[in-house]
Amino acid sequence: MLKQVRLELARSAQFPEGSEAHGYEFSAPLRRDGHIDAEAWAGQRAKCTVRRFWEGEKDAHGHLRRLGSGWAFHYDLDREPTADEPGYRFDSHVFRPGEYVSITERDGSLRTFKVASVVDG
pTM of the model: 0.92
pLDDT, tens digit (0-9, with 9 covering 90-100), for 15-69: 999 999 999 999 999 999 999 999 999 999 999 999 999 999 999 999 999 988 8
Model confidence band, residue 107 (pLDDT cutoffs 50, 70, 90): confident
Q: Determine the structural domain holding residue 42 and report its residue range.
A: 2-120
Instruction: Give the model's confidence band at 95: pLDDT under 50 very low, under 70 low, under 90 confident, else very high.
Output: very high
Tell me what pLDDT residue 81 has.
53
Q: How many domains does the chain have?
A: 1
| CB-CB contact of 72 with 104 (8 Å) | no
Q: How far apart are CA 112 and CA 100, in angstroms?
A: 7
Please write the tens of the pLDDT for every residue from 75-92: 876 555 556 888 998 888
pLDDT confidence of residue 80: 59
Q: For residue 121, what pLDDT band results from cuts at 50, 70 and 90?
A: confident
